[in-house]
Structure 1
Amino acid sequence: MMNEAFKINELGNLKFFLGFEIARNQSGISMNQRKYALEILSDTRMMGCKPASTPITHGTHLHQDDSGNYSDVAAYRRHVGRLIYLTNTRLDLTFSVNQLAQFMALPTNLQYQSVVKILRYIKGSPALGLFFPRNSFVQLKAYSDSD
């Protein structure tokens, strides 16, 4: 019925959508943002950096300190914004990135060094993502406000 009202093209199985890479196999569905993560690393000139084993150093307490204000506030906001979008499939980054997002108004050099540490962590595992096993009992439910 929709095909009669609108021209519909069958594109096959979903493989790439809004920066998400989707792969299906016998065991389930995997979803990651590898290409997007590599674009972030390339844009920030961090492709050649040494990978880090954790996104944030244990015991790091981010707060407004006197390490000096970071000079390029717009770049800090852009980096953190891109990292926020990456947390759609990288749940291991969520806590660290949310901590950094609290300092969007006036970031310091300490917060920017934490951004660099997260980028080094991404360098070590750019294809990390979500996996939904075929035999799982998880049900995806979504709600929407029609207003």
Structure 2
Amino acid sequence: MAFEFSNSLNAIGFSQSKFDYSLFTKGNKKGAFTALLVYVDDIIIGGNSQREIDLLKAHLHGKFKIKKLGPLKYFLGLEVARSSAGINVCQRKYTLEILKDSGILGTKPASTPIELNHKLSHTTNEILQNPTTYRRLIGRLIYLTITRSGITYAINVLS
């Protein structure tokens, strides 16, 4: 199915990114640009020409069984909000899920989660019996740095 989908997009002028195979883009001489991002069975379409977007949707609807869900609001832990000032992307819900799952939902925030140039020291305390939970948390926090660059240093030290 993925091969058929890629071929279908290539047939109407889209190019698949060599750096991210889930990204397809198309531009034309009139300045229209359309991008399509695929994740499993979700597709995000964006561009600067509503006509081109509508043509792409019609093409996809004719070739595949698709469901139109309307404007993008939430995708892979990212919340997307539009206003007259532009587009805002945040991970509020994703952050709250991490805090809840970690059991620290009611704690107070800190302006700096770790002191700069912090050096980890060896400990004689017991090593984690099951490091899987810790690794999963670090992975989730690394993903959170997409919108929260201020925690990048601390997450890097912890990872």
User: When the two structures are superposed, what TM-score results if normalisation uses the length of structure 2?
Assistant: 0.56
Show CA shifts across 1:10-39 (max 9, x none).
222100011110001111111111111101
Q: Match for 1:66 among 123, 128, 140? A: 123
Q: Structure 1, unaligned stretches of length 5 or more?
A: 102-147
**Would you tell me which structure has more strand in proportion to its own residues?**
2
Q: Which has the higher contact order (CA 8 A, sep 6+)?
A: 1
> Does residue 46 in structure 1 map to residue 123 in structure 2?
no
Q: Which runs of 4+ in 1 moved over 3 A?
A: none
Q: Match for 2:158 among 100, 118, 121? A: 100
User: When the two structures are superposed, what TM-score results if normalisation uses the length of structure 1?
Assistant: 0.60
Deviation at 1:77, TM superposition (A): 1.3
Q: Match for 2:94 among 11, 18, 36? A: 36
Deviation at 1:59, TM superposition (A): 4.0
Q: How far apart, CA to CA, are the structure 2 residues paired with 1:3 and 1:37? A: 35
Partner of 1:12: 70
Q: 1:34 to 1:95 in 2, by over 3 A?
A: same
Partner of 2:140: 82
Q: Match for 2:114 among 56, 60, 71? A: 56
Equivalenced residue count is 100
> Secondary structure at 2:142's aligned position in 1?
helix
Q: Structure 2, unaligned stretches of length 5 or more?
A: 1-58
Larger displacement relative to structure 2 (19-28 or 47-56): 47-56
Partner of 2:85: 27
Q: Which amino acid aligns with 1:33?
A: Q
Deviation at 1:76, TM superposition (A): 1.8
